[in-house]
Structure 1
């Protein structure tokens, strides 16, 4: 069968709508652009695939085959590329989405809507089509010269066909040879140990890619591996405090690394590059904090620096072991950006690099070769970033405002990290150059760490089961009651303003979904079909308790806001005119909505919309907001900030002059989602206290405090309070525990070389 390629030859300039794309530099120029936009290589590849078939639907499989040949990328990779294209064209063509460029075809693919014009490859008419057009447009007197060019064209066509045929034969021959080699290397089938009635072999469960080296009832967290991968140090959380332990990556019992004072907790161990020392943080009473160094063989610890009052402490070693690299800090030793501490002199040095006024950079780490620094920007809604070791060339690697749960360098150009997906955290590996993301097949995992030389990877494996509870908040008001019991993970219980209904998220049906039921009628419980909720932000009930706003994702993984009528099981996606909505609450007046969004340059803000107009009209905006709740009794909006701890208030119209602090200390930036408002304006807050796993405090009201459970931790992604403040609706861990897992670092996927790179490991050939 002959294949006819009728696509337009690609020039360096591609006109799409009102924008011009320069392919060689990956730049996008537009009439209203404030600055030149630049695409990633993969985003440009997706754009070219769509442009070649402009106006036609291009399936996701076709795009994967064109742009990611010989790899197995996740849907997130394609979604991220399309998201960047939409963002770039919107910025170049006016800064909004009023002129759509790329249309999503649900469950199928994408279509480029804007007109496409390819500039001529050669203005002298060197292309085949250009020559023919020029010949047809030539005057009759030039007919002889036109005829004389035909033999040359025919010769070029025949030559091209012969070249293509030769290349095809070479590829076919190489494929046959490789298949023969693989067939010859295949081992004979193993003898059948057991068979079922039909003669089919019975095999056991597939082997896990890891093994657990701890398995007791305590919480083992924050592992760090020695450079040779033979030893691991971790923190053990038990009886309201944390201590450090060291053991081999085998199954030998652990021993205490250092003596921890009875009133202190030791956390966040980090092994030095030479394997001789371990740095860690010691948290003391009354917000005291210090970073200490101890020999890997144990003994007395010495202080490197103080860190009093910080709520987001992070640090790692430099590649030469002479200094520590710190992320943003709060408290008495606050610093907005990343800086280094020289251990010998105690001198601090701040890195000079670009960051926003509300940005906080967490968990910085040098790459193994020392040339770059990776970090998480704004870990509450975080993305991975990388920059040169001197602070230059900072750029994002991920762009989905995910919950990043620990990360480490695999190699100098590859990263492993934990990321929350629905109700669990999974491990992913990320190619820094291509931004290709791959699921590692390890679920319920977080805080990965990689040995510098030993090829081992350790992580914290956490498999909690959360149940929903109604807990009375006054002494003598009765016992707590479990609600809608199941064997799944239930979270984000949101009680309705009338106190009769409860909405929550759960994986109890096997998939993560939104559930609803009447508290007095357990049999009313039902799932809201077809809606994929998000676990990052709480839902919000309307004042009449008939509907609620839920953040979620569509079939393409793009974030959106959904209005749900739970009793009927109906829902609709709202036309919120923002690029990345994260949370929505009903406004103080009918027809208004308040939306927490992440806009250009990943800035967070709270925006008030009039939804009665089409498109929605922006009425006001407030930057730096991470979460918001409406206090109807107090006629105010309460909110937390991305860049600092505390609670703030503003009028429902977001008038700038009405912003006031409510509590300057809590909620902390880490626990910005564990607070709620009652019908009378009281604000409750869930935290971890001394000797109390789930501590409830009234931070706006009478200041009362009560330990709801000494051992069981509450979920950190949402709670609610009864309208009269008599009870808290929380998700408590009913089957908890965290262990340390160890595995070999998986071999990296080979990059394609003429489509055969994926076979090279089987043939035991070294990769260049």
Structure 2
């Protein structure tokens, strides 16, 4: 049956015929006639193909493809060219042919082949749970007995010889010149040796890139998690936190920037974890954070060559602790943290005396200034303000006025200075993955470095290290209240080789929507869980990965923050039954959430102000323009509890859960849980129809633990899965049924990657965008 592009979004479609080729959408495989085997294409190439197929016969511009397939990112035009080239190869086109895809000069591309959307097969039985090896028993290489020898320092210049008594001034000058020349030759020889070693290392990296198709090589490859890398000043060594065999928690490991056996630098006690290492400017010491056992938290310093760590300071376990070294190596610069019960901003700890010195600058009480670092010349401090939904800021090193740099309100996943101090690299979450970007301080331009699944970048010299994480997530259904004595067993809902997340079950307990990149591009999907229908694509709007869709009380409509096919960011109302999508006239420039209320003419809208602050506003939508009725400041996420006529919400600035009445009256605001959710996990909670509030967290002995919060007498926590991590952007509790829907990792792990720092293109060259 041939279907239109609109119909494709409303039916369960898994296969499409393009000309003589058959395309399996979930598997991302193209089977061309006479081909020996199907060709698997990348998720982004599949996204480009689906966009062209929905507009078959029409010219689709490059800007449209970038907005559809790479929403919220800053890629170059090369990514579109690479996707088109891959599609042409998969379709079997030869050079110079245009049987399937036609290039329209200076415009875009047009799909020439006929498109036929095929009916989906009958729904398959639920896929059995995939069990990953537990973190406690992950195999890892045995530590080597000692660290590799450090690079040989430059040979000192020879001391000048004393001229012979009575030597002439000319002869003395010749002797001095000879000595200076000898010293210069020795220094030049050392530099040439080092340069030769660097070029050899670069050649190996380029050779690795040509063989693997990626610009980096992996320094670690053991199962489990390696994260938070830090490079020695000469980039010869890397330290990182990693899981340990047969033990819970993490330790600090050190190895050369070759894929060699690592050495355990720290041995935390039982129940503790060491993480967040930071290499000192002189390369001799490494600072790190130790958590546990219990509620203990401390910052330690250990010789980079090994030895007994010593405690530099205590820290508060409520904080997301962050620190870096001062340029002289005599102290540590800390981000926002609690001190004597009060949160303070940027401070410097002198390691010799233990004295603290505050950086004088203006910050609001709710601001969280994270991961501060001095510039290479020591003149500036850059930090991430409110990294959950924030930006990079800078302040003079001696204090003064702080100013925003990036202005993108992003989820920041690590950052570092470039060696010349004129730019930064930073990681950020984009849709279902993470990427690394370069930021130019002079022009305020941002450039995507083109590395998938990359975060936590660090730089030393001409080298870049980062965390390479490649998770896959599936949706699992658990019983909300399990029979006594029975262990939780999750049922996998839909087979997928992608990343399924943000399940939102409707109040009728039948319909579910979720976000996924299973079709090649990040999109919204719908399914009937009661009828076991395969999910179908709702392609008219690309959702924001940071906020879950919100159902109406009659289960007919959705509020979705995202962008349409024209790249317009806004709050959209979606009707899954008909596929109708309407952009709502919300009078805010930066919507981040929409919520229905029992009154049909009222709606709650979360928004940002461009300066790292967020708020919740009650609007009357009965007339145009919408009228704001009330506002609550510092609201990171809100949910409506119709049973008790209240709004529950979290804050970016503090742990805990608050409530207000449906009118957002200031006098109704009160805190109902002081500890959970953690402000860094503000999306991991939901409300059941009976008013119970559930929170998903990671514990020492359980990777996905569910517990009830906001209650005076909660039942004991329940472990849903001991080994598989959950996504951090939301789960869903069935409104009228005994079910909870959780995204769990089906494949997971991370490694440390290493590569030459990509060169900066000349100003004005394509690829630099605002």
TM-score when normalising by structure 2:
0.70
Instruction: Label 1:254 to 1:598 Cα distance change in 2 as closer, same or farther (>3 A).
Output: same
2:584 pairs with 1:574: yes
1:217 to 208, 220, 223: 223
**Counterpart-to-counterpart distance in 2, 1:600 and 1:362:** 18
Name the counterpart of 2:675: 665
Name the counterpart of 1:346: 354
Deviation at 1:265, TM superposition (A): 0.5
2:277 to 269, 274, 291: 269
What are the ranges of 5 or more consecutive residues in structure 2 without an aligned counterpart? 1-60, 64-73, 78-106, 109-208
SS in 2 for 1:244: strand
Name the counterpart of 1:626: 636
SS in 1 for 2:679: coil
Query: Residues 502 and 519 of structure 1 are in contact (CA less than 8 Å); yes or no, is this contact kept in structure 2?
Result: yes
Q: How does 1:453-464 map to 2 (within 5 A)?
A: 454-464=461-471
Name the counterpart of 2:179: none
Name the counterpart of 2:438: 429
2:476 to 457, 469, 474: 469
SS in 1 for 2:667: helix
Deviation at 1:340, TM superposition (A): 0.9
Query: Residues 475 and 493 of structure 2 are in contact (CA less than 8 Å); yes or no, is this contact kept in structure 1?
Result: yes
**Counterpart-to-counterpart distance in 1, 2:328 and 2:722:** 43
Name the counterpart of 2:312: 304
Deviation at 1:523, TM superposition (A): 2.9
2:455 pairs with 1:446: yes
Name the counterpart of 2:412: 404
Instruction: Label 1:743 to 1:661 Cα distance change in 2 as closer, same or farther (>3 A).
Output: same
**Counterpart-to-counterpart distance in 1, 2:364 and 2:238:** 37
SS in 2 for 1:356: coil
Query: Residues 75 and 450 of structure 2 are in contact (CA less than 8 Å); yes or no, is this contact kept in structure 1?
Result: no
Name the counterpart of 1:381: 389
CA offsets 1:165-205 (integer angstroms, 9 cap, x no match): xxxxxxxxxxxxxxxxxxxxxxxxxxxxxxxxxxxxxx987
SS in 1 for 2:502: strand
Deviation at 1:473, TM superposition (A): 3.4
**Counterpart-to-counterpart distance in 1, 2:549 and 2:337:** 31
Instruction: Label 1:576 to 1:205 Cα distance change in 2 as closer, same or farther (>3 A).
Output: farther
Instruction: Label 1:504 to 1:537 Cα distance change in 2 as closer, same or farther (>3 A).
Output: same
**Counterpart-to-counterpart distance in 2, 1:252 and 1:281:** 25
Q: How does 1:700-739 map to 2 (within 5 A)?
A: 700-701=710-711, 702-724=714-736, 726-739=738-751
Deviation at 1:60, TM superposition (A): 11
Name the counterpart of 1:229: 235
Name the counterpart of 2:370: 362
Name the counterpart of 1:65: none
Higher relative contact order (CA 8 A, sep 6+): 2
Name the counterpart of 1:101: none
2:563 pairs with 1:544: no
**Counterpart-to-counterpart distance in 2, 1:586 and 1:596:** 12
Deviation at 1:206, TM superposition (A): 6.8
Name the counterpart of 2:92: none
Name the counterpart of 2:428: 419
**Counterpart-to-counterpart distance in 1, 2:339 and 2:482:** 35
**Counterpart-to-counterpart distance in 2, 1:456 and 1:204:** 18
2:509 to 499, 504, 507: 499
SS in 1 for 2:495: coil
**Counterpart-to-counterpart distance in 2, 1:349 and 1:247:** 34
Deviation at 1:554, TM superposition (A): 4.1
SS in 1 for 2:683: coil
CA offsets 1:1-59 (integer angstroms, 9 cap, x no match): xxxxxxxxxxxxxxxxxxxxxxxxxxxxxxxxxxxxxxxxxxxxxxxxxxxxxxxxxx9
Deviation at 1:391, TM superposition (A): 2.4
2:328 pairs with 1:316: no
Instruction: Label 1:60 to 1:471 Cα distance change in 2 as closer, same or farther (>3 A).
Output: closer
Query: Residues 407 and 610 of structure 2 are in contact (CA less than 8 Å); yes or no, is this contact kept in structure 1?
Result: no
Name the counterpart of 2:294: 286
CA offsets 1:459-484 (integer angstroms, 9 cap, x no match): 00000000000012333477321112
**Counterpart-to-counterpart distance in 1, 2:489 and 2:225:** 27
Name the counterpart of 1:590: 600
Query: Residues 300 and 309 of structure 2 are in contact (CA less than 8 Å); yes or no, is this contact kept in structure 1?
Result: yes
Query: Residues 553 and 598 of structure 2 are in contact (CA less than 8 Å); yes or no, is this contact kept in structure 1?
Result: no
Instruction: Label 1:739 to 1:699 Cα distance change in 2 as closer, same or farther (>3 A).
Output: same
Deviation at 1:545, TM superposition (A): 0.6
**Counterpart-to-counterpart distance in 1, 2:494 and 2:589:** 36
**Counterpart-to-counterpart distance in 1, 2:521 and 2:387:** 26
SS in 2 for 1:522: coil
**Counterpart-to-counterpart distance in 2, 1:386 and 1:556:** 34
2:525 pairs with 1:515: yes
Deviation at 1:381, TM superposition (A): 0.4
Deviation at 1:73, TM superposition (A): 7.6
Deviation at 1:715, TM superposition (A): 0.4
**Counterpart-to-counterpart distance in 1, 2:650 and 2:338:** 16
SS in 1 for 2:400: coil
Instruction: Label 1:615 to 1:74 Cα distance change in 2 as closer, same or farther (>3 A).
Output: farther
Instruction: Label 1:205 to 1:211 Cα distance change in 2 as closer, same or farther (>3 A).
Output: closer
Query: Residues 685 and 695 of structure 2 are in contact (CA less than 8 Å); yes or no, is this contact kept in structure 1?
Result: yes
Query: Residues 657 and 710 of structure 2 are in contact (CA less than 8 Å); yes or no, is this contact kept in structure 1?
Result: no
Deviation at 1:672, TM superposition (A): 0.5
Q: How does 1:746-765 map to 2 (within 5 A)?
A: 746-751=758-763
Deviation at 1:492, TM superposition (A): 0.2
**Counterpart-to-counterpart distance in 2, 1:356 and 1:663:** 23
CA offsets 1:214-246 (integer angstroms, 9 cap, x no match): 111110010100001011111113554111111
**Counterpart-to-counterpart distance in 1, 2:537 and 2:740:** 23
Instruction: Label 1:602 to 1:559 Cα distance change in 2 as closer, same or farther (>3 A).
Output: farther
1:741 to 729, 753, 756: 753
1:693 to 690, 703, 706: 703
CA offsets 1:738-760 (integer angstroms, 9 cap, x no match): 000001111222336xx99x9xx
Deviation at 1:357, TM superposition (A): 3.0
Query: Residues 240 and 693 of structure 1 are in contact (CA less than 8 Å); yes or no, is this contact kept in structure 2?
Result: no
**Counterpart-to-counterpart distance in 2, 1:331 and 1:494:** 39
CA offsets 1:488-511 (integer angstroms, 9 cap, x no match): 100000111111111100000001
TM-score when normalising by structure 1:
0.70
**Counterpart-to-counterpart distance in 1, 2:210 and 2:317:** 52
Query: Residues 266 and 274 of structure 2 are in contact (CA less than 8 Å); yes or no, is this contact kept in structure 1?
Result: no
**Counterpart-to-counterpart distance in 2, 1:489 and 1:413:** 36
Deviation at 1:401, TM superposition (A): 1.3
CA offsets 1:555-594 (integer angstroms, 9 cap, x no match): 5655311111112222111111001011111124221111
Query: Residues 235 and 244 of structure 1 are in contact (CA less than 8 Å); yes or no, is this contact kept in structure 2?
Result: yes
Query: Residues 310 and 332 of structure 1 are in contact (CA less than 8 Å); yes or no, is this contact kept in structure 2?
Result: no
- Bigger drift between 594-603 and 436-445 goes to 594-603
Name the counterpart of 1:30: none
Deviation at 1:399, TM superposition (A): 1.6
Deviation at 1:310, TM superposition (A): 2.6
**Counterpart-to-counterpart distance in 1, 2:564 and 2:534:** 27
